[in-house]
Structure 1
Amino acid sequence: MKRVIAIADRAALVSLKLLAALNVLFFLSFLVVLLLAGRAHAGVPNCVGTDLLTALEKNDPAAFKKVETEAAAVPNGKGLLWKLEKPGEKPSYLFGTMHMTDTRVTTLPAAAQKAYDGAGTIVIETTDAMDKAKMMAAMASEPGLMMFTDNTTLSSLLSPDDAAALNKGLDARGIPPATVAKMKPWILSAMMALPACEVARQSAGEPVLDVRLAADAKASGKDVEGLETAVDQLRAMASLPLEFHMKSLVETMKLGDKVNDVNETMIVLYQRGEIGMFWPLFRAVLPDTADDKAGYAAFEQTMIISRNKVMAAHAGPILAKGNVFMAVGAMHLPGPEGLVEDFRKAGYTVTVVN
């Protein structure tokens, strides 16, 4: 009999699951459409969320100041658009994205729009996401990355209380539990971390920012390149412990409508270019434990740092041609092992534009 993973009724892993969701939202956009097509409401729901940073500043000024101090200490933590320069090459640009359809995200800042318009080559994380058939073929090539292929089901890995919480959350989204019983937890976590309005827009066919940038570039005759494959991303996510993913799934369900607050806060910070403030803020407003730190470290190494190294290596020959606009998830940019520093180590002068 398979071991049941019991999960305490707390929000201790909210930060972990949200980061996981953030990094896979773009990859899963077509999957979400596939799963929820026909289940979306006739109109786009109004997802009203509260900016947690503003609330923290008002209710706990000392904690707010601590968040600001921690964010300021994150290397390259402020700015979405970065200019990459190297002697003998035309300048290129690195831009941090959010994998969402919200118009506040998909409307590029003026400087980024100018850099995008002038670029000869557009680079995104994976071009597989531009082609639904190719995406589905990639998923089908290794079904074990997406689905349990033995007798395991999601409910068999949960305590009765957590299984009930999961089913309640699915029912609230109009998703029959039986239709996702064999789905791997990271797929469902990413889907449930999306606000209902985001799900509705994606179900209606609206592209997330990265896909829109690539599709528009292709339509205008620009070269479009990818840095990894859909399977690469799935393998990375699947390599993390199953218990980690099951905890994330249940805590995502328990978050309920508060997911709107988290997404609203991320969008507000994103618009301000305050990428380095994401985690200091969420650590301040959501519970944290030693287990969280260990889990986050494993997640960061697998889903961010290791992928950064692959992206930087694959981007090298493309950037050497010059005049490139490279758009990847914003969480890949900051930190001592972020892409900004990786490109500096590769010999580029990297300066923030906005």
Structure 2
Amino acid sequence: MQYIMKTIVLLAILFVGLFTGSASGQQQPQLEKSLLWKVTGKGLPQPSYLYGTIHMICDADFKIAPKTKNAFDQASQLVLETDLFNPSTPALVKAAMRADTPLSKKLSPTEYATLDSLMQQKMGMPLKPFDNFKLTMVMALMMQKLFSCAQPKSYEMTFNQMATSKQLPVGALETIQEQLDLMNKAFSDEQIITQVKEFDSARIMMNQMVENYKAEDVSALYNRMVEELMDKHTIQIMLEERNHHWVTEMPEMMQKGSSFFAVGAGHLGGPIGIIALLRKQGYTVTPIMN
């Protein structure tokens, strides 16, 4: 059960998702290569900052650059995607991931046997302990196993620890319940099963995304997701709807003081990305290169 609870927490900090599908055949305009952006204009009393995270990454690839530490030190609050570190989060995630029908009854015998075999081969565990959970739980397990390290690090957790040490308030752009509801709506059982079957390809893709991330190439991350990793339905729910909601929440937070927004890097780029949406609202959003 301790392992299951640990997995439940990991589920809440998943990357946007690794799901096959093609949304568009067109490449989007390229942004400057930076994970850190400054937001000014429209009467803001102080600049705020937008930082693109990758929700899990191995320690050897984990880095917080001096420019990022400097921006963080100037902020008066940290704002994450969701209220991940609320004490009630593990219970909420566990409840949201509980299945109405056990997987052993929901899936056909052939599907169950195939998924169980794949989990044992690729993840080193049987499907049985997760029989009463939704397949989204299997997605969380797979995400952790895509990395070569046993314990991937979290930028969100590190930023939260930094905020705690500086006694900074920590806000959120959405509740954990809202995020969980979106995840359950965005990913079908068929998508998850297909992705488990393509585990080796997903691992290669994750390695490529980590390299894009280390290069601070938010445009490449966005293009990779919409061209190779997500279908139209998933893009609409996990990117478009959330981004539009977030940029309606950010102005009031920025007016109250300098905010350091830490959200998945895949949300920054593209025509529906936070950078483009903030610019449409009249804000000046500029990359911080050094």
Question: Normalising to structure 2: TM-score of the pair?
Answer: 0.81
Aligned mates of 1:75, 1:198 — CA distance in 2: 30
Aligned mates of 2:127, 2:116 — CA distance in 1: 6
- Give the alignment's Cα RMSD to 1 decimal: 3.0
Shift in alpha-carbon separation, 1:36–1:167, aligned structure 2, 3 A: farther
Aligned mates of 1:78, 1:305 — CA distance in 2: 22
Partner of 1:14: none
Shift in alpha-carbon separation, 1:180–1:77, aligned structure 2, 3 A: farther
CA shift for structure 1 position 113:
2.2
Partner of 2:253: 318
Aligned mates of 1:319, 1:351 — CA distance in 2: 16
Partner of 2:93: 139
Aligned mates of 1:92, 1:113 — CA distance in 2: 14
Aligned mates of 2:200, 2:206 — CA distance in 1: 10
The Cα offsets for residues 87-127 of structure 1, whole Å up to 9 and x where unpaired, read as 34211110110001423553122322221122221111112
Aligned mates of 1:259, 1:32 — CA distance in 2: 24
CA shift for structure 1 position 161:
4.0
- Counterpart selection for 1:180 from 130, 147, 156: 130
Shift in alpha-carbon separation, 1:281–1:327, aligned structure 2, 3 A: closer
- State whether residues 78 and 163 of structure 2, in contact with CA within 8 Å, keep that contact through their aligned partners in structure 1: yes
- Secondary structure, counterpart of 2:257 in structure 1: coil
- Counterpart selection for 1:121 from 46, 54, 77: 77
Aligned mates of 1:261, 1:199 — CA distance in 2: 14
- Secondary structure, counterpart of 2:178 in structure 1: helix
* Worse overlay, 231-240 or 167-176: 167-176
Aligned mates of 2:60, 2:183 — CA distance in 1: 28
Gaps of 5+ in 1: 1-29, 38-68, 287-291
- Secondary structure, counterpart of 1:99 in structure 2: coil
- State whether residues 97 and 327 of structure 1, in contact with CA within 8 Å, keep that contact through their aligned partners in structure 2: yes
Pairwise mapping of residues 296-315 of structure 1 onto structure 2 (< 5 A)? 296-315=231-250
Aligned mates of 2:57, 2:38 — CA distance in 1: 25
- Secondary structure, counterpart of 2:150 in structure 1: helix
- State whether residues 91 and 323 of structure 1, in contact with CA within 8 Å, keep that contact through their aligned partners in structure 2: yes
Partner of 1:162: 111
Aligned mates of 1:330, 1:105 — CA distance in 2: 15
Partner of 1:225: 171
CA shift for structure 1 position 79:
2.9
Partner of 1:262: 205
Gaps of 5+ in 2: 11-24
Shift in alpha-carbon separation, 1:155–1:277, aligned structure 2, 3 A: farther
Partner of 2:13: none
- Secondary structure, counterpart of 2:118 in structure 1: helix
Partner of 2:59: 103
CA shift for structure 1 position 36:
10
- Counterpart selection for 2:38 from 71, 83, 92: 83
Shift in alpha-carbon separation, 1:155–1:198, aligned structure 2, 3 A: farther
Pairwise mapping of residues 245-260 of structure 1 onto structure 2 (< 5 A)? 245-260=188-203
Aligned mates of 2:39, 2:31 — CA distance in 1: 14
Aligned mates of 2:57, 2:223 — CA distance in 1: 25
Partner of 1:33: 6
- State whether residues 57 and 210 of structure 2, in contact with CA within 8 Å, keep that contact through their aligned partners in structure 1: no
Partner of 1:193: 143
- Secondary structure, counterpart of 2:163 in structure 1: helix
Question: Normalising to structure 1: TM-score of the pair?
Answer: 0.68
Partner of 1:66: none
The Cα offsets for residues 124-173 of structure 1, whole Å up to 9 and x where unpaired, read as 1112x224x41123236xx3x31222xx2334444544322210122232
- State whether residues 275 and 285 of structure 2, in contact with CA within 8 Å, keep that contact through their aligned partners in structure 1: yes
- Secondary structure, counterpart of 1:227 in structure 2: strand
CA shift for structure 1 position 340:
0.7
The Cα offsets for residues 206-252 of structure 1, whole Å up to 9 and x where unpaired, read as x5111210121122212211111110101112223xxx522222222
Larger of the two Rg values belongs to structure: 1
- State whether residues 36 and 50 of structure 2, in contact with CA within 8 Å, keep that contact through their aligned partners in structure 1: yes
Aligned mates of 1:97, 1:215 — CA distance in 2: 15
CA shift for structure 1 position 279:
5.9
Partner of 2:181: 235
- State whether residues 101 and 198 of structure 1, in contact with CA within 8 Å, keep that contact through their aligned partners in structure 2: no
Tell me the matched-pair count: 271
